[in-house]
């Protein structure tokens, strides 16, 4: 009887916590996102006079919004441990992150673990499934200049043309540096069976923890943002490379996300916090862009090799609970990613104060007009 009462109490407490968290997230979105939009509307004169300053301010507010999303998981006990190469050293360079995709929580995880990577979040561009356009954060991503891509063979060619146009229009003009891309083109659970059938048909590795990547978006990004000679190879002239250092992609960051017991976190869990505190593991492997082939067949093989390595990394992780050491290491070294509670409190406070300020301003104008 005591055990039954205790279980009922735990379930009741969990339900109450979920309701309170959902209410907070709802209000958080209600004040933060409209405030972001209204600030940018008011700053339009700045955009006309000094576009660079405008997008600098927008980037700062964008980072704060992503910090709020990170705080939802952080407050539920969802933390990140990082492995592999240290990407702090390349935060001011241009790079593409190739990330495996298991669930909607992957995006939240990246929003968290990139918060301490200098100015990366301010200057980043996301490539996401078009379904995210219709989420609460969709309007923010549209304004920021992220790209929403439609999946499926029927849309593939058109989407790649649109992506090329999007990069030409927004990447340089808005001072973007990092691009986040999920080359698998969908969630693991949805694509695994199709990927394995394709692998069997084409004598490719059959993967369990990830799926075979798609080439299209990766190739478009590389061709659009990497300086090339007429024959399609990379520039190797030293003077030229120094001159273009701040203008061209320099790194590919192969990023592998691992969840304990292969149970990914979705966005509902991130918001409601009904799962026990969980440590999410993220492994980075950095490749200089000069080591990445651009020709279609060689680039395809290169991508397949990277994802075969991801499969080995995740197999090791699910067996041992840790990622293996890098080739030049005797043992793997992990780094716990930390967020400042004071910083998160200040960001949230600014959002709520901004929401109250805009409410008062709009109420005043409404009362004056009507």
DSSP state string for 263-300: -PPPHHHHHH--SPPEEEEEEEEEEEGGGS--SHHHHH
Pick the closest to residue 180 from 137, 218, 135, 152 (CA basis).
218
CB-CB contact of 117 with 87 (8 Å): yes
Q: Classify residue 264 by its DSSP letter.
A: P
Q: What is the reported pLDDT for 244?
A: 45
What's the number of CA atoms in the CB half-sphere (13 Å) around residue 273? 25
Pick the closest to residue 91 from 63, 128, 70, 55 (CA basis).
63
C-alpha–C-alpha distance, residues 268 and 103, integer Å:
11
Q: What is the reported pLDDT for 126?
A: 95
Structure tokens at 322: 């840790």
Q: What is the reported pLDDT for 122?
A: 95
The percentage of residues in the chain with a pLDDT greater than 70, rounded to a whole number, is 94
Q: What is the reported pLDDT for 1?
A: 56
Q: What is the reported pLDDT for 230?
A: 40
CB-CB contact of 274 with 10 (8 Å): no
Q: What is the reported pLDDT for 97?
A: 97
List, for residues 128-166, the tens digit of each pLDDT value: 888 888 877 889 999 999 999 887 777 788 999 999 999
C-alpha–C-alpha distance, residues 286 and 349, integer Å:
36
What's the number of CA atoms in the CB half-sphere (13 Å) around residue 227? 15
> pTM for the whole thing?
0.89
Q: Classify residue 327 by its DSSP letter.
A: T
C-alpha–C-alpha distance, residues 343 and 137, integer Å:
21
CB-CB contact of 212 with 235 (8 Å): no
Low-confidence stretches of the chain (pLDDT beneath 50): 229-232, 235-246
Q: Classify residue 335 by its DSSP letter.
A: E
Q: Classify residue 171 by its DSSP letter.
A: I
Q: What is the DSSP string of 349-367?
A: HHHHHHHHHHHHHHHHHHH
C-alpha–C-alpha distance, residues 104 and 100, integer Å:
11
Q: What is the reported pLDDT for 12?
A: 87
Q: What is the reported pLDDT for 241?
A: 44
Q: What is the reported pLDDT for 34?
A: 96
CA distance readout (Å), 217 to 120, 154, 300? 21, 15, 12
Backbone angles phi, psi at 332, to 5 degrees: -70, 140
C-alpha–C-alpha distance, residues 22 and 89, integer Å:
37
Bridge partners of residue 251, in order along the sequence: 95, 288
C-alpha–C-alpha distance, residues 309 and 252, integer Å:
15
Q: What is the reported pLDDT for 228?
A: 58
Q: Report the C-alpha dihedral over residues 142, 147, 150, 153, rounded to 10 degrees.
A: 160
Ramachandran assignment for 232, one of left (phi > 0), alpha (psi -120 to 50 degrees), beta (any other)? left
List the chain domain ranges: 2-369
Structure tokens at 177: 């540096």
CA distance readout (Å), 73 to 24, 70, 105, 108? 13, 6, 10, 8
CA distance readout (Å), 294 to 2, 14, 89, 93, 127? 66, 51, 25, 20, 20
Pick the closest to residue 88 from 58, 125, 117 (CA basis).
117
């Amino acid at each position: 009887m005591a055990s039954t009462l205790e279980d009922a109490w735990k379930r009741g407490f969990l339900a109450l916590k979920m309701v309170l968290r959902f209410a907070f997230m709802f209000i958080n979105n209600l004040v933060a996102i409209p405030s972001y939009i209204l600030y940018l509307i008011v700053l339009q004169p700045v955009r006309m006079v000094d576009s660079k300053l405008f997008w600098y301010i927008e980037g700062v507010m964008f980072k704060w919004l992503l910090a709020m999303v990170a705080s939802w998981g952080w407050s539920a006990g969802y933390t990140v441990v990082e492995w592999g190469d240290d990407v702090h050293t390349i935060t001011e360079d241009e790079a593409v992150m190739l990330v495996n995709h298991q669930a909607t929580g992957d995006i939240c995880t990246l929003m968290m673990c990139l918060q301490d990577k200098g100015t990366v979040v301010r200057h980043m561009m996301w490539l996401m499934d078009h379904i995210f356009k219709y989420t609460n954060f969709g309007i923010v991503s549209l304004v920021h200049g992220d790209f929403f891509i439609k999946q499926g063979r029927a849309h593939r060619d058109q989407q790649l043309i649109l992506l090329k146009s999007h990069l030409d229009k927004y990447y340089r003009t808005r001072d973007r540096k990092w691009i986040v891309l999920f080359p698998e083109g969908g969630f693991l659970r949805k694509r695994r069976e199709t990927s394995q059938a394709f692998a069997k048909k084409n004598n490719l590795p059959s993967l369990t923890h990830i799926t075979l990547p798609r080439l299209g978006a990766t190739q478009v990004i590389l061709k659009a943002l990497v300086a090339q000679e007429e024959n399609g190879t990379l520039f190797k002239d030293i003077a030229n490379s120094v001159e273009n250092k701040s203008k061209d992609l320099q790194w590919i960051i192969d990023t592998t996300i691992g969840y304990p017991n292969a149970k990914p976190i979705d966005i509902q869990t991130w918001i409601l916090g009904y799962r026990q505190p969980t440590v999410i593991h993220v492994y980075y492997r950095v490749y200089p862009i000069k080591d990445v082939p651009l020709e279609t067949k060689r680039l395809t093989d290169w991508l397949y090799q990277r994802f075969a390595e991801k499969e080995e990394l995740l197999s090791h992780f699910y067996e041992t609970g840790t990622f293996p050491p890098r080739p030049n290491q005797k043992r793997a070294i992990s780094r716990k990613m930390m967020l400042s509670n004071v910083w998160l409190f200040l960001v949230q406070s600014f959002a709520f104060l901004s929401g109250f300020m805009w409410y008062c301003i709009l109420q005043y104008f409404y009362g004056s007009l009507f």
